[in-house]
């Protein structure tokens, strides 16, 4: 039986979960995997503000990273600190020392993956990141180890549990965004500062990793279109329901030849789509391969034990590599390769709600602008506005149209004298 000493950086939610699995499930892992996995050291910031210190013997803990990276017995380092620094510095030093690194840190991977992989290749160390996307959902291993025969054409994912909880609450309870966010914070699903979640940054970090692996080309964070959920209103959900749709924050990637589009934004999905039924804090990733067709993986996308499960899976995977670690097969460089054509003028359906003057000719004027910009209308829903008798709301669902055509059309529609306001524009996928 092979023995591996593992050191953990950070002993918060995920780090403590990794410790629980490696110690509590030690014998079962040893029996199934023929591996003796032992905790060597645990790095903490200090000994005064760490709530989980009581879980382990104090002899494990250190505040000195050099004690871990210089330790010849530590073969695998698990990074659970989060954020960019000092995580980036620690990961680079570990890889430079030939230590295999397993991380759950999506932000630092999405922003510094190329330099980490270069350092890993230089020393022959391993770099593993399953827990960065989808928590306990084994999506990255599925792509790397189970879909090699496929050209992945599309990925669509609900990969942020906080926003999915908020949107589920808005859809089912009819509450406002601020009310749904407040409830998520009270339940511990949202941070006191929820910006990373509600503005789509967290999903963007994850999509960068997910799309890079799926499409075999590094897709940096800064090439991904990002839009959060803060502008959504209860009216959006009312109209979506009337049209037979659900609203989700989706991470979307599509590839056609060398053309790739990557975007994160609120999206309307038909109620019949599998992703439309994903409720609460759960995550799901929908993948289309040219040979296998559509598959979907569903599960808990965050939380202590689901995320720790993915981390420990990577630890076991690394141990079985026998020193022959897998690296990415694409050119993992800081900038997107010139071989990729980034599609910013992507095509999809659009749901547009306009507050207008309730008078003859209004519909014709708006329709004329849409036609001028090559936007074809699929459905139109008109309801009187509740505040007065001279305004009404018109909701347009388009056929597939180009993003730039929609933007130009809305700019011109907003200038019409019969239009009070463009209240909402939400993209839709089939």
Q: Which residues are catalytic?
A: 206
- CA 342 remoteness from chain centre: 19
R_g of the chain, CA atoms, integer Å: 24
Reduced to 3 states, what is the DSSP secondary structure of residue 426? strand
> Residue 23: which of 45, 49, 42, 43 has the closest Cα?
42
What is the rounded (10 degree) CA torsion for 342, 347, 349, 351? 60
Phi, psi values for residue 44, rounded to 5°:
-125, 160
3-state secondary structure of 173: helix
Whole-angstrom distance, CA of residue 201 vs CA of residue 111: 12
DSSP string across 338-356: TT-EE-SS-EEEEEEEEEE
Could you give the residue ranges of the DSSP H alpha helices within 177-230? 177-186, 195-198, 201-215
Which element (helix H / strand E) includes 425?
strand 419-428
Residue 95 to residue 121: CA distance in whole angstroms: 9
Contacts for 38 with CB less than 8 Å, ≥ 6 apart: 3, 4, 5, 6, 22
CA angle in degrees (0–180, nearest 5) for 7-109-3: 25
Q: Is the dihedral of CA 109, 112, 114, 120 positive or negative?
A: negative
Following CA atoms 308, 267, 332, 132 in sequence, which dihedral angle do they give, to the nearest 10 degrees? -10
Nearest to 429 by CA among 364, 350, 361, 358: 350
- Per-residue CA distances from 386 to 355, 379, 383, 392, 396 (Å): 11, 22, 9, 8, 19
């Amino acid at each position: 039986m092979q023995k591996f000493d593992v050191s953990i950086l950070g002993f918060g939610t995920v780090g403590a979960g990794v410790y629980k699995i490696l110690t509590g499930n030690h014998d079962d892992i040893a029996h199934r995997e023929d591996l003796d996995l032992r905790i060597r050291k645990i790095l903490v910031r200090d000994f005064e503000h760490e709530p989980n210190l009581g879980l382990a013997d104090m002899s494990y803990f250190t505040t000195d990273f050099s004690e871990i990276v210089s330790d010849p017995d530590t073969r695998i380092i698990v990074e659970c600190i989060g954020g960019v620094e000092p995580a980036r510095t620690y990961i680079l030093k570990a890889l430079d020392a030939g230590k295999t690194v397993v991380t759950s840190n999506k932000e630092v991977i999405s922003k510094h993956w190329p330099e980490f992989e270069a350092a890993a290749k230089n020393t022959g160390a391993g770099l593993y990141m399953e827990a960065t996307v989808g928590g306990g959902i084994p999506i990255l291993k599925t792509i790397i180890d189970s879909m090699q025969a496929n050209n992945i054409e599309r990925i669509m994912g609900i990969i942020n549990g906080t926003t999915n909880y908020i949107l589920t609450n808005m859809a089912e309870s009819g509450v406002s965004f601020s009310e749904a966010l407040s409830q998520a914070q009270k339940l511990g699903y949202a941070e006191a500062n929820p910006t990373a979640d509600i503005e789509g940054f967290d999903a963007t970090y994850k999509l960068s990793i997910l799309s890079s692996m799926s499409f075999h080309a590094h897709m940096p964070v800064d090439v991904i279109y990002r839009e959060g959920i803060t502008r959504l209103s209860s009216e959006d959900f009312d109209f979506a329901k009337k049209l037979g749709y659900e609203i989700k924050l989706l991470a979307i990637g599509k590839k056609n030849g060398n053309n790739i589009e990557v975007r994160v934004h609120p999206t309307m999905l038909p109620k019949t789509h599998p992703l439309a039924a994903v409720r609460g804090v759960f995550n799901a990733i929908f993948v289309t391969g040219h040979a296998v067709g559509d598959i979907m993986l569903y599960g808990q996308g965050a939380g202590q034990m689901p995320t720790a499960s993915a981390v420990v899976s990577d630890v076991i995977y690394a141990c079985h590599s026998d020193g022959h670690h897998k690296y990415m097969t694409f050119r993992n460089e800081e900038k997107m390769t010139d071989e990729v054509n980034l599609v910013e003028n992507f095509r999809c359906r659009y749901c547009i709600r306009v507050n207008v003057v309730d008078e003859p000719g209004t519909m014709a004027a708006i329709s004329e602008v849409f036609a001028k910009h090559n936007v074809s209308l699929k459905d139109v829903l008109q309801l009187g506005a509740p505040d007065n008798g001279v305004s009404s709301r018109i909701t347009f669902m388009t056929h597939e149209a180009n993003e730039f055509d929609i933007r130009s059309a809305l700019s011109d529609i907003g200038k019409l004298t019969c239009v009070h306001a463009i209240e909402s524009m939400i993209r839709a996928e089939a």
